[in-house]
Amino acid sequence: MKGTYLGEFEEIVLLATGILDDDAYGVTIRKEIEKQTRRAVNIGAVHTALHRLEEKGYLKSKFGEATMVRGGKRKRIFTITAFGLKALRKAQELRSNMWSQLSNVIVQKS
């Protein structure tokens, strides 16, 4: 097991999946990330991150409907799990906690 560490990109993918709610699959997630971060993201990187997150138990997936535009191939719809939410919250807490300490220093310096 790779452990439960949440990388930066993984965090973003996880957040994007959460935002998209029940329409989160490869293409939409990539679009969402590009929209939010304004940087180009590779679809392969998104797939990798998605599967790794699923392996860690932060995401679960099921096959969605197939459409013409997809050449008759089904989507894999990802949804965030309770465990995934918890991991996100932890990451946020960590940051805000560290932020609170950082701001003191900065305040004193400025």
Closest Cα to residue 20, out of 7, 34, 40?
34
The least distance separating another protein from the CB of residue 23, rounded to whole angstroms, comes to: 12
Residue 110: Cβ-neighbour burial (10 angstroms; 0-12, 13-18, 19+): exposed
42 is an interface residue for another protein by CB under 8 A? yes
Return all residues near 45 (Cβ < 8 A) that are at least 6 apart: 9
73 neighbors 66 (Cβ within 8 angstroms) = yes
- State the amino acid at position 5 in one-letter form: Y
Q: Which residues, numbered 44-83, are part of the site for another protein (CB under 8 A)?
A: 44-45, 47-48, 51, 63, 66-67, 69-71, 73-76
Q: Which residues, numbered 20-39, are part of the site for another protein (CB under 8 A)?
A: 25-27, 30
The least distance separating another protein from the CB of residue 18, rounded to whole angstroms, comes to: 19
- Note the residues at the interface with another protein (CB under 8 A): 25-27, 30, 42-45, 47-48, 51, 63, 66-67, 69-71, 73-76
